[in-house]
Amino acid sequence: MSQVPADAAARRAVTPVICYPNDTLPAPDLARYRATREAAAKVSEVVVAPREAACFRVDAGQFFRITSVEGPQVGDLNLWNAHDLSERFYSGKTRALHGTHVTTGERLWSSFPHLRPMATIIADTLGWYGIDEFGGSVHDVIGTRCDPYTGNLLSGVQYHHCCHSNLTRAVADELGLSLAKVEPHVHDVLNVFMCTGFTRDTGQYFMKASPVRPGDHLEFFAEIDLLGALSACPGGDCSAEHTSDSAACFPLLVEVFAPAEGALGDWQSPPRNGYDRSHGR
């Protein structure tokens, strides 16, 4: 135990400041996105089987919707630039910019050196949930993804349907690459519909039964051409445990919608980040 200084209370009482005030972030034109969505037509869909993952593709300017069907289920989402796997969803920076959980009007940002919006949330039927008395909220960017390595570390198990493995297999099939080639591209996720937080007393990551019900959905506008992969987590609604076959699991539906011709007007994909990458040399 460290020595408590005489002014400990005063040091703790210092008012926090927001690390990244986000009022200078380029704001999405939600009104335009929503007007465009009203006249958009469905072009494809994929049903993600329980304890498996599936890939989907969304062109820049299109929309994709993830819907709970049949029963409460959380999903682990990965996104890449469809033409460049080095540009992928950056959950840590998205968390730093928007907070621990995301909802309508917030964006999923891409990795360095690209750092631009990949997708913008335009609808969230669980937006009403807010932050509960435990500090829990929905759609987090704080978890990583359930994975067999942590399962082995903690319990010595060999389990093959963690989201990490599901995503790896789905992307390997989609791209015709080996599991070994694909695995390094799988990254920390957006936990769609998952209800999580950090305990106040120990600061530990917690989960609780997701409030999602069949029909609930989270919908995105694709800012760039996207390859997506979604895993229907083996934890089901994540009320008890994952990394096993014990939870009730349900499918997830992903639908893609294309705008009417010319509906987006002069809209263009956001440019890659403007930093010159000289790093001072």
Collapsed DSSP state (helix, strand, coil) of residue 172: helix
Task: Tell me if 163 contacts Zn ion by CB under 5 A.
Answer: yes
Residue with Cβ nearer Zn ion (58 or 146): 146
Residue with Cβ nearer Zn ion (91 or 120): 91
- Which amino acid type is present at position 256? V
CB of 235 to Zn ion, least distance (A): 5
Task: With contacts defined by CB under 5 A, name the span among 10-18, 123-131, 144-152, 201-209 that binds Zn ion.
Answer: 144-152
List of residues 6+ apart from 10 with CB closer than 8 A: none
Task: Tell me if 192 contacts Zn ion by CB under 5 A.
Answer: no
Residue with Cβ nearer Zn ion (108 or 233): 233
DSSP E strands, the chain = 41-48, 53-58, 63-68, 75-81, 84-88, 107-109, 117-124, 137-140, 190-198, 205-208, 217-222, 226-232, 252-258
Residue with Cβ nearer Zn ion (69 or 82): 69
Residue 177: count of CB within 10 angstroms of its CB: 14
CB of 193 to Zn ion, least distance (A): 11
CB of 189 to Zn ion, least distance (A): 8
State how far the Cα of 54 lies from the Cα of 251, in Å rounded to an integer: 11
State how far the Cα of 255 lies from the Cα of 141, in Å rounded to an integer: 22
The separation between the first and the last C-alpha atoms of the chain, rounded to the nearest angstrom, is 44
Task: Tell me if 233 contacts Zn ion by CB under 5 A.
Answer: yes
Residue with Cβ nearer Zn ion (4 or 154): 154
CB of 267 to Zn ion, least distance (A): 34
| Site track 66-85 with Zn ion (rule: CB under 5 A), x = hit | ----------x---------
The number of residues that bind Zn ion (CB under 5 A) is 4
Task: With contacts defined by CB under 5 A, name the span among 2-10, 79-87, 218-226, 227-235 that binds Zn ion.
Answer: 227-235
CB of 132 to Zn ion, least distance (A): 21
Task: Tell me if 126 contacts Zn ion by CB under 5 A.
Answer: no
The candidate with the shortest Cα–Cα distance to 40, out of 228, 220, 266, is: 220
Collapsed DSSP state (helix, strand, coil) of residue 88: strand
Collapsed DSSP state (helix, strand, coil) of residue 198: strand
Task: Tell me if 146 contacts Zn ion by CB under 5 A.
Answer: yes
Q: Which residues of 240-252 are buried (b: 16+ CB within 10 A; e: fewer)?
A: eebbbeebebbbb
CB of 53 to Zn ion, least distance (A): 10
Q: Which residues bind Zn ion (CB under 5 A)?
A: 76, 146, 163, 233
